[in-house]
Amino acid sequence: MQDTLPLAAAPFRPKVPPPLTRPLGLFAFLKAARENPIGTWMKAHFEEFVVAGETAMGRVTVVSDPALVRYLFVENAANYRKDDLQKRVLAPGLGNGLLTAEGDEWRLQRRTLAPIFSARQVAGFTRPMDAAGARLAKRLARRDGARVDMAQEMTRATLDVLERTIFTQGLPGDPDALGRAITRLLESVGPIDPLDVFGVPGFVPRIGRLRARPALRFFAEVVDTLLDGRKAAIARGEAPHDLMTLLLNAQDPETGRGLSDLEVKANIVTFIAAGHETTANALTWALYCLSQDAPAQERLAAEAEAALDEASGTMALDQLPFARAVMEETMRLFPPVPFMSRQALRDDRIGRIKIPRNSTVIVAPWVMHRHRRLWDEPDAFLPERFLGERREAMARYSYLPFGAGPRVCIGQSFSLQEATLVLAHVARAVHLILPADHPPVTPLHRVTLRPKDGLRMVVRRRG
């Protein structure tokens, strides 16, 4: 057990689908995986470090041992590519951007985009992120006593951050319409289609992809409008210094080659859909957990009050360790991407387990972050895990909200910085109450992890 804590008398334990005690039959599994994949994990997955067996997708090995995760994602990463099922789900919506590209194409994009998300560049976005958090806090404070859909508000806030950092000349049309399109897209392509599980060729129509077409057309129009406007601004020498300009001007440091229009478009869609969505969901889950843990909510509010510069109205990021810990603990319980799958290019061996060529290996943050052999009180919300010596003592590769190895999320620092600042502003401005008649708050896996029925909370203005 690598994580030990002095526990509160009754820490909050979010209700989630319980692990299965026996395997599902083929059709029951396909049905459950389509409805909500996180309900398909077995009790053994949360107790054993390696679970291997034959499934509807062929041979599957689930790995939760941090040392073996390191082997998969770092030491022998070249032998494992994203599996076909994952690409069939993601590629129709996100194109061939950094999240879905493979091989030399991925390496080129990664080298090209890495400087855009350097520590210096991300630190330069502190002010606009802070401003988006302050704007959200004022909007919530004006709704004192009202029921507010916090999932929708977090979507608005993260889109506001996008407009202040990536698309500073504005997003075309209504940001709420863009948020709805993102939701429709992920809800359409997210459910696992049996045709994809059995490897049916992509030209055979999928219901989810047909439903996603209006959202995809909307995205294509938004991205084309953004690109045309920004290229014209660059040609006039009037382009703002934001991430979109950096993206268009980016060059591979080894070859000097820039990204093609298709690659630029795919990555813009990835930043909008995947990047914004994961941060909005993480913030939503954090607010839910805080609403059920009054001491944590009050501690965060006090920390945010102390970190606020009254003259400028800005938060000092380095004075928000508890806010960051709340976000990290939230992403432990509700990881933005619940599982990552890889396909073996050659025969391999993980510990004592043989990995046949073309078989699937899964590393599931949803499982690892709740694993009985890695965490003390794994189902409890305890932000203190991520403070001081406890954070330092955490086993490497036991905590993977952004993945690991060469394919670790390029925007992880951007996302965590954004979420910490926005959360601090919200906690300082309002007290959050989950109404007694609210439907059960249930995680739904649709590429990312979101509350199934949203999160309508009563907000009370502080002070």
Q: Do 74 and 400 touch, CB atoms closer than 8 A?
A: no
Q: Do 329 and 383 touch, CB atoms closer than 8 A?
A: yes
Q: Which whole number is the average pLDDT over 265-277? A: 78
The predicted pLDDT at position 93 comes to: 57
CA distance 412 to 408: 8
The predicted pLDDT at position 54 comes to: 83
Residue 367 lies inside a defined structural domain of this protein:
yes
Q: Which whole number is the average pLDDT over 197-207? A: 60
| Percentage above 90 pLDDT, the chain | 49
Which residue range(s) make up the domain with 434? 26-461
Q: Which residue has the higher pLDDT, 73 or 187?
A: 73
Q: Considering only CA atoms, which of 168, 107, 185, 175 is closest in space to residue 136?
A: 175
CA distance 354 to 41: 22
User: Which residue do the tokens 């994952």 mark?
Assistant: 86
The predicted pLDDT at position 84 comes to: 66
Q: Do 400 and 335 touch, CB atoms closer than 8 A?
A: yes
CA distance 461 to 463: 7
The predicted pLDDT at position 71 comes to: 95
Secondary structure class of 115 (helix, strand, coil):
helix
Q: How many domains does the chain have?
A: 1
Task: Please state the pTM of the whole predicted model.
Answer: 0.89
Q: Which residue has the higher pLDDT, 324 or 176?
A: 324
CA distance 344 to 355: 7
Residue 308 lies inside a defined structural domain of this protein:
yes
Q: Do 278 and 415 touch, CB atoms closer than 8 A?
A: yes
Residue 305 lies inside a defined structural domain of this protein:
yes
Residue 2 lies inside a defined structural domain of this protein:
no
Going edge to edge, which strands form the sheet with 50-55?
50-55, 58-63, 360-363, 340-344, 80-82
User: Which neighbouring-strand residues pair with 197?
Assistant: none
User: What's the CATH code of the domain at 426?
Assistant: 1.10.630.10
Q: Which whole number is the average pLDDT over 385-393? A: 91
Tokens of 418: 């954004």
Spatial CB neighbours of 389, under 8 Å, sequence gap ≥ 6: none
Calculate the CA 346 to chain-centre distance: 30
Chain segment 354-372, per-residue pLDDT in tens: 999 999 999 999 999 999 9
Residue 364 lies inside a defined structural domain of this protein:
yes
Residue 270 lies inside a defined structural domain of this protein:
yes
Q: How many CB atoms lie within 10 A of CB 23?
A: 13
Chain segment 415-428, per-residue pLDDT in tens: 999 999 999 999 99
Is residue 145's pLDDT more than 90?
A: yes
Is residue 197's pLDDT more than 50?
A: yes
Is residue 352's pLDDT more than 90?
A: no
Q: Which residue has the higher pLDDT, 109 or 136?
A: 136
The predicted pLDDT at position 209 comes to: 65
Mean pLDDT score of the chain:
86
Q: Which whole number is the average pLDDT over 174-196? A: 67
Calculate the CA 253 to chain-centre distance: 28
Chain segment 152-182, per-residue pLDDT in tens: 999 999 989 988 888 787 776 676 777 777 7
Residue 355 lies inside a defined structural domain of this protein:
yes
Instruction: State the pLDDT confidence band at 1, using cuts at 50, 70 and 90.
Output: very low
Q: In whole angstroms, how far apart are CA 119 and each of 33, 183, 189, 209?
A: 38, 30, 33, 37
Residue type, 418: E
Residue 270 is classified by DSSP as I
Instruction: State the pLDDT confidence band at 210, using cuts at 50, 70 and 90.
Output: low
Is residue 56's pLDDT more than 70?
A: no
The predicted pLDDT at position 281 comes to: 94
The predicted pLDDT at position 192 comes to: 64
Is residue 204's pLDDT more than 90?
A: no
Residue 21 lies inside a defined structural domain of this protein:
no
Chain segment 279-299, per-residue pLDDT in tens: 999 999 999 999 999 999 999
Chain segment 421-460, per-residue pLDDT in tens: 999 999 999 999 999 999 999 999 887 898 998 899 999 9
CA distance 140 to 115: 35
Q: Which whole number is the average pLDDT over 32-55? A: 91
